[in-house]
């Protein structure tokens, strides 16, 4: 096997997934990179990884996604992993108010450790749990707007908006990292759901680097 | 003795079976069986013939869950059957037989022990009447049970990894009893541990033996006393558990309890759910047991509280003990050693990172340099390895084997009087949500502490300009923690402690007789440049000193870890020493050990260490750059087997407690040259678990070629090891780790002897 055999990507970007324990970070990642969902996935200890290659505006981008442990206790260690991240998905569970309240802590964490130009997206996960919802979509959107972050609701379980979340974030990153266009982030936070259509500019590559056996 | 805590005392168990076949009327049968001679396979055959079943079926048994509800639990193995006998057979074991294809979500389990998969198909061939009539009391079926257990064990080993066999077979019940006296006192703790180190434990015996390995018993209990002790401690556990459950049921639980319970629940629901023990509904009995166990521990140990990863530590204990309270005792035993891993200060983990970095640098400077070039020398991808002591890195059943081997390398640490089930600061009144509940702030303080720690860290990392500095960053962190050693090594006697001084005095006459052999030995060590040839001299010197039977004494001072088995026939002396030592300090009672060549058995092909040494020497001579004191990984052709085991001369040192047998001559054996004075002593190395360090080192080295060859960068290395979760080969890893570990111990011993010589002014 070769892990780095086809090195034909133009950019490699590190994205971190953060949020309280149990909000679905690992499954959001596995849904995006392997199209898998495992209701009984193990708690993440330390950090786990996956990559997926995506074409944005003709450039091959390797998204290298770091899935970090959610429990507070590990933040001291996981903060190391923020180093070099150019994007972050900050997750909460739409059925768990506590996970929403804790967003502030996670955002502070990012402000302290991540690249100041890192793109941040607030993600309300588990949108399939309509009957258990306690955080209205508007509330999440408001918080994101207040902080000039983008916002999306996803369901790793039924795959709703998962690719969109990652792709939108990657396009944001592209703007910052490649075109140096900061204004998009600063001035128009409310661009989440529909502005960047997958079909128009973003083409997911099949497979990514997953599936190589060692 | 082994059976004190199981149901072996019951002679007959009455069984009532209900056969369900789709919409057909259920069919009932009753019979009795002898639990001592009935294996799960026999039970299956019995049922097959009793009902004339022609297709596959599943068996479940009626049990009561914690809330007293009747539930059917599936019975898939001897373990389940034993559990059923034990917990659900009074007055009558109720079985349900479902005629449907056997399917289970096992996809995610890499390895299933052959014995765990019921063999339904050939069940029809046994003569019905004769079988039923001979069900109880026949020797033949007893033999059958033993045989099937053996086949299972052997089958597991040989099918998985034929080329890496352990030095001996797993410990059996019969063998275990050899380490006890007639009333059940553990009388040969060293041999007991060496045996496990060499070959692990038969699955069925783990339940009993793990309790010994996990230090839940005070020293020197008889079998009867252990039984009483267990019963008492179980009650104590249930009392602790009921304290918080009551608060829950009365709705007076504090925020702290609710917070802990929520966190625990989240993780229990996703801990080893692919294992049959935890499969089934989210509120199945075993999951609830795991939940109770963890919440009770977290609440009664406020300093630790709940931390992710603890469910991974507890899960195998519950699978093996099958009983919540007994598993709790084992968990307390494990956590006594591991709690520092879970503390917010992160000191223990930091130390382990540093130690692994050190040994990697010494063992494989090329690989270390590679990692450094890629900014990966901080080894952060090993975090999970340390935290869970590699539990997730192997398939579940293999992890059990790895764990028991690792535990066997640790010095016994019996509780002084009793195993404490809670921390001294625990106070049940804190559980209640009284208006001024003081514990609610715990979470906040913890977070505040964490923030300050992180700020501390980030200040340091700001000083370090590039990622290359991250390793020194953690070292400097480490240096700042002046109490770090005490956290890890506080149970070992200090060199200047009075009892140690006393021992030293006792040893002085022994030193006289050591003088002869040691002087040669230390001259060998003094010249590091030509290490390889002289290492051999060193070995034989140790060998000869050991035959004089004195060297083991020197271990008592500060090397509580097992020494490699250098001694040939000094059992009596050692027993005597054991007793004497234990008077001074329980920790130092563990000393160099006995005659594992006996345990290994004459038929086992043994690798002569001297020959190994030569073969690796020739290799390293070719690679003179990394020659001095490093491990040279590469394709060392292990062609130098000593096939004639009868050729043992006195000075031919067989390190047989680490004998690794290989059928595959082309294996890449990495020969460790642990002439590594820089490495910490066993009681410090890896915070007192040096074997873990060698296991981790092995995992790294076994992927070294892949990493270097494919030029993997930091992230790719991290991802590589991430993907290897539950996929490492336990036999291959243990094989190599044992080799390196024994070399390390040997060097440590030699160094120690040198120190002793210098200290007592013996000319070197």
Helix, strand, coil percentages in chain B from 3-state DSSP, rounded to 5: 60, 5, 35
Structure tokens at B631: 């491990």
- Kindly state the tokens that stand for B651: 């000075």
Give the Cα separation of A61 and A117 in Å (integer). 18
Three-class SS string for B322-377? CCHHHHHHHHHHHHHHHHHHHCCCCHHHHHHHHHHHHHHHHHCHHHHHHHHHCCCC
Cα dist. A32→A27, A64, A78, B471 in Å?
Answer: 8, 12, 22, 33
CB B387 within 8 A of CB B341: yes
Pairing of strands B70-75, B58-64: antiparallel
Cβ–Cβ below 8 Å for B383 and A77: yes
CA distances from B630 to B175, B616, B678 (A): 39, 11, 12
Region B38-53: mean pLDDT is 82
Residues of A with CB under 8 A from a CB of B: 1-5, 14, 21-22, 40-51, 64, 69-77, 79-81, 83-84, 105, 112-113, 209, 214
- A46 contacts B308? CB cut-off 8 A: no
Q: Long-range contacts for B270-273 (Cβ within 8 Å, ≥24 apart)?
A: B270/A40, B270/A41, B270/A42, B270/A43, B271/A42, B271/A43, B271/B311, B271/B312, B271/B315, B272/B312, B272/B315, B272/B316, B272/B319, B272/B396, B273/A40
**Quick one: residue A124, left, alpha or beta (phi over 0 = left, psi -120 to 50 = alpha)?**
beta
Residues in chain A with CB shorter than 8 Å from the CB of B273 are 40
Angle at B722 between CA A85 and CA A84, to 5 degrees: 10
A84 φ/ψ sector (left φ>0, alpha ψ -120 to 50, else beta): left
Average pLDDT over residues A173-185: 74
The SS3 call for residue B684 is coil
Confidence of residue B760 (pLDDT cuts 50, 70, 90): confident
Nearest to A62 by CA among A114, A110, A15, A1: A15
pLDDT for A31 beyond 90: yes
What is the pLDDT at residue B537?
Answer: 40
Give per-residue pLDDT as tens, B286-320.
Answer: 999 999 999 999 999 999 999 999 999 999 999 99
DSSP helix/strand/coil, B670: coil
How much is the average pLDDT of B687-710? 96
DSSP, res A35: S
What pLDDT is attached to residue A76? 54
Q: Which of B23, B8, B246 minimizes the C-alpha distance to B145?
A: B8
For residue B213, pLDDT over 50 is answered with yes
Q: What is the ipTM of this complex?
A: 0.77
Counting one residue from chain A and one from chain B, the pairs whose CB atoms sit within 8 A come to: 111
CB within 8 Å: B388 and A43 = no
From chain B, pick out residues whose CB is under 8 angstroms from the CB of A1: 710
Question: Closest approach of chain A CAs to the CA of B670, in angstroms?
Answer: 20
Q: What is the mean pLDDT of residues B84-89?
A: 81
Q: From the CA of A35, how many Å to the nearest CA of chain B?
A: 16
- Min CA distance, A139 vs chain B (Å)? 24
Residue B133 to residues A111, B29, B33, B137, B304, Cα–Cα distance (Å) = 76, 15, 10, 10, 56
Task: Pick the residue from chain B with its C-alpha nearest to A72.
Answer: B447
Beta carbons of A214 and B724 less than 8 Å apart: yes
Burial class (CB within 10 angstroms; exposed 0-12, middle 13-18, buried 19+) of A137: middle
The residue with greater pLDDT, B546 or B385, is B385
CA distance B408 to B509: 32
Weakest mean pLDDT among A20-24, A179-183, B315-319: A179-183
CA B129 to centroid of chain Cα atoms: 45
Is the pLDDT reported for residue B234 higher than 80?
Answer: yes
Task: Note whether B308 contacts A73, CB cutoff 8 Å.
Answer: yes
Closest of B510, B576, B522, B579 to residue B548, by C-alpha: B510
In terms of CA atoms, which chain B residue is nearest residue A43?
A: B267
Query: A90 in helix, strand or coil?
Result: strand
* Residue A8, both tokens: 């034909």
d(CA B217, CA B329): 9
Query: Residue A17 above 90 pLDDT?
Result: yes
pLDDT (average), residues B311-331: 97
Q: Estimate to the nearest angstrom the gap between the alpha carbon of B701 and the chain centroid.
A: 21
For chain A, helix, strand, coil in percent to 5 are 35, 25, 40
Top pLDDT among B679 and B162 is at B679
What is the C-alpha to C-alpha distance for residues B403 and B389, in angstroms, rounded to an integer?
A: 8
Q: Is A153 strand, coil or helix?
A: strand
Which has the higher per-residue pLDDT, B102 or B226?
B226
**pLDDT tens sequence across B158-183:** 444 446 778 889 999 999 999 999 99
Query: Among A1, A3, A44, which would you mutate to test the B interface (most chain B Cβ atoms within 10 Å of its Cβ)?
Result: A3
From B396's Cα to the closest Cα of chain A, the distance in A is: 13
pLDDT at B546 over 70: no
Pick the most confident of B353-357, B373-377, B714-718.
Answer: B353-357
| CA atoms of B523 and B517, how far apart (whole Å) | 11
Say what the pLDDT of residue A83 is: 80
Among residues of chain A, what percentage have pLDDT more than 70? 77
Sheet holding B13-20, edge to edge: B27-33, B13-20, B93-98, B58-64, B70-75
How high does pLDDT run on average in chain B? 69
Strands (E), B21-123: 27-33, 58-64, 70-75, 93-98
Report the pLDDT averaged over residues B528-539.
Answer: 38
Buried b (16+ CB within 10 A) or exposed e, B186-201: bbbbbbbbbbbbbbbb
**Which of A43, A51, A63, A65 is most worth mutating to test chain B (most B CB atoms within 10 A of its CB)?**
A43
Instruction: Calculate the average pLDDT of chain A.
Output: 81
- Distance (Å) from the alpha carbon of A212 to chain B's nearest alpha carbon: 9
Of B266, B274, B387, the CB nearest to A45: B387
**Is residue B489 predicted with pLDDT exceeding 50?**
no
Of B388, B458, B718, Cβ closest to residue A112: B458
Q: Which of B565, B573, B560, B558 is nearest to B593 (CA)?
A: B565
pLDDT band at B736 (very low <50, low <70, confident <90, very high): very high
Question: Mean per-residue pLDDT for B207-227?
Answer: 96
Residue carrying structure tokens 């999970």: B384
The pLDDT tens digits for B337-348 are 999 998 877 789
pLDDT for B326 equals 97
Confidence of residue A144 (pLDDT cuts 50, 70, 90): very high
C-alpha to C-alpha distance for B463 and B469, rounded to whole angstroms? 9
State mean pLDDT over B183-205: 95
Best residue in B278, B281, B309, B339 for a mutation probing chain A (most A CBs within 10 Å): B309
CB A69 within 8 A of CB B349: no
Residue of higher predicted confidence among A45 and B404:
B404
Q: Which of A7, A26, A42 to mutate to test the interface with B (most CBs of B within 10 A)?
A: A42
What is the CB-side half-sphere exposure of residue B487 using CA atoms within 13 A? 20
- pLDDT surpasses 50 at B585: no
Residue with tokens 């050990």: B593
């Amino acid at each position: 096997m070769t892990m780095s055999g086809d090195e034909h990507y133009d950019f490699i970007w590190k994205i971190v997934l953060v949020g309280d324990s149990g909000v679905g970070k690992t499954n959001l990642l596995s849904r995006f990179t392997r199209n898998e969902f495992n209701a009984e996935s193990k708690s993440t200890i330390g950090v786990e990884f996956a990559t997926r290659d995506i074409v944005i505006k003709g450039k091959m981008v390797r998204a290298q996604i770091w899935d970090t442990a959610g429990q507070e206790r590990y933040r001291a260690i996981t903060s190391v992993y923020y180093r070099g991240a150019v994007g972050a998905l900050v997750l909460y569970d739409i059925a768990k108010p506590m996970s929403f309240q804790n967003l502030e802590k996670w955002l502070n964490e990012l402000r302290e450790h991540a690249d100041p130009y890192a793109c941040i997206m607030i993600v309300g996960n588990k949108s399939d749990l309509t009957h258990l919802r306690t955080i209205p979509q508007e509330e999440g959107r408001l918080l994101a707007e207040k902080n000039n972050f983008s916002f999306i609701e996803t369901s790793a379980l039924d795959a709703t908006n998962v690719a969109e979340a990652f792709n939108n974030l990657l396009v944001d990153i592209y703007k910052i990292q490649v075109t140096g266009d900061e204004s998009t982030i600063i001035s128009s936070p409310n661009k989440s759901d529909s502005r960047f259509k997958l079909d128009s500019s973003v083409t997911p590559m099949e497979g990514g680097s997953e599936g190589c056996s060692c | 003795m082994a059976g004190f805590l199981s149901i072996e005392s019951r002679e007959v168990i009455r069984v009532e079976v209900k056969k369900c076949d789709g919409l057909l009327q259920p069919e009932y049968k009753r019979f009795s069986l002898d639990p001592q001679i009935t294996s799960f396979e026999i039970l299956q055959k019995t049922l097959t013939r009793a009902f004339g079943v022609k297709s596959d079926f599943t068996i479940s048994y009626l049990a009561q869950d914690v809330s007293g509800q009747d539930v059917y639990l599936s019975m898939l193995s001897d373990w389940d059957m034993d559990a059923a006998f034990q917990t659900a057979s009074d007055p009558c074991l109720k079985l349900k037989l479902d005629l449907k294809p056997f399917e289970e979500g096992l996809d995610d389990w890499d390895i299933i022990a052959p014995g765990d998969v019921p063999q339904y198909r050939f069940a029809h061939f046994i003569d019905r009447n004769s079988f039923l009539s001979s069900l109880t009391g026949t020797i033949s079926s007893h033999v059958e049970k033993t045989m099937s257990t053996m086949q299972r064990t052997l089958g597991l080993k040989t099918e998985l990894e034929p080329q890496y066999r352990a030095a001996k077979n797993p410990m059996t019940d019969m063998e275990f009893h050899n380490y006890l006296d007639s009333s059940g006192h553990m009388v040969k703790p060293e041999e007991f541990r060496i045996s496990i180190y060499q070959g692990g434990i038969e699955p069925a015996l783990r339940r009993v033996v793990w309790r010994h390995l996990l230090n839940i018993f005070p020293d020197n209990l008889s079998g009867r006393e252990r039984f009483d002790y267990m019963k008492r401690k179980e009650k104590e556990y249930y009392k602790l558990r009921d304290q918080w459950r009551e608060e829950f049921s009365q709705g007076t639980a504090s925020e702290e309890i609710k917070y802990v319970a929520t966190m625990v629940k989240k993780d229990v629901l996703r801990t080893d759910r692919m294992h049959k023990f935890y499969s089934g509904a989210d509120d199945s009995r075993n999951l609830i047991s795991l939940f109770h166990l963890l919440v009770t521990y977290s609440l009664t140990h406020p300093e630790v509280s709940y931390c992710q990863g603890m469910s991974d530590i507890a899960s195998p204990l519950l699978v093996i003990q099958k009983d919540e309270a007994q598993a709790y005792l084992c968990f307390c035993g494990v956590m006594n050693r591991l709690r520092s891993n879970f503390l917010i200060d992160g000191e223990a983990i930091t130390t382990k990172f540093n130690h692994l970095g050190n040994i990697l640098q010494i063992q494989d400077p090329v690989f270390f340099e590679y990692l450094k070039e890629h900014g990966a020398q901080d080894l952060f991808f090993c975090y999970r390895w340390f935290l869970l002591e590699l539990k997730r890195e192997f398939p579940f059943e293999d992890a059990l084997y790895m764990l028991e081997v690792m535990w066997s390398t640790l010095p016994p640490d019996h509780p002084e009087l009793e195993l404490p089930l809670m921390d001294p600061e625990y106070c049940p009144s804190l559980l209640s949500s009284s208006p001024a509940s003081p514990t609610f702030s715990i979470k906040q303080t913890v977070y505040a502490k964490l923030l300050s720690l992180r700020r501390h860290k980030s200040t340091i990392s700001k000083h370090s300009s590039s990622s290359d500095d991250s390793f020194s960053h953690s070292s400097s962190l480490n240096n700042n923690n002046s109490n770090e050693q005490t956290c890890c090594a506080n149970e070992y006697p200090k060199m200047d402690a009075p009892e140690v001084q006393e021992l030293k005095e006792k040893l002085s006459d022994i030193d006289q007789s050591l003088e002869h052999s040691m002087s040669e030995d230390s001259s060998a060590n003094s010249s590091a440049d030509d290490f390889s040839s002289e290492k051999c001299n060193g070995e034989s010197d140790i060998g000869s000193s050991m035959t004089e039977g004195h060297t083991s004494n020197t271990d008592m001072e500060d090397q509580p870890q097992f020494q490699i088995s250098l001694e040939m026939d000094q059992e009596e002396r050692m027993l005597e020493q054991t007793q004497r030592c234990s008077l001074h300090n329980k920790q130092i009672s563990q000393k160099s050990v006995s005659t594992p060549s006996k345990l290994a058995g004459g038929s086992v092909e043994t690798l002569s260490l001297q020959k190994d040494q030569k073969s690796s020497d020739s290799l390293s001579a070719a690679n003179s750059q990394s020659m001095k004191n490093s491990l040279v990984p590469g394709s060392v052709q292990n062609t130098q087997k000593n096939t004639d085991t009868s050729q043992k001369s006195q000075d031919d040192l067989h390190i047989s407690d680490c004998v690794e047998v290989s059928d595959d001559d082309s294996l890449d054996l990495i020969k460790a040259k642990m002439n590594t004075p820089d490495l910490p002593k066993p009681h410090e190395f890896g915070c007192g678990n040096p074997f873990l360090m060698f296991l981790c080192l092995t995992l790294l080295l076994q992927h070294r070629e892949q990493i270097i060859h494919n030029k993997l960068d930091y992230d790719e290395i991290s991802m590589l090891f991430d993907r290897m979760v539950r996929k490492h080969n336990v036999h291959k890893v243990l094989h190599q780790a044992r080799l390196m570990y024994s070399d390390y111990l040997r060097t440590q011993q030699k160094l120690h002897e040198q120190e002793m010589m210098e200290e007592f002014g013996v000319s070197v």
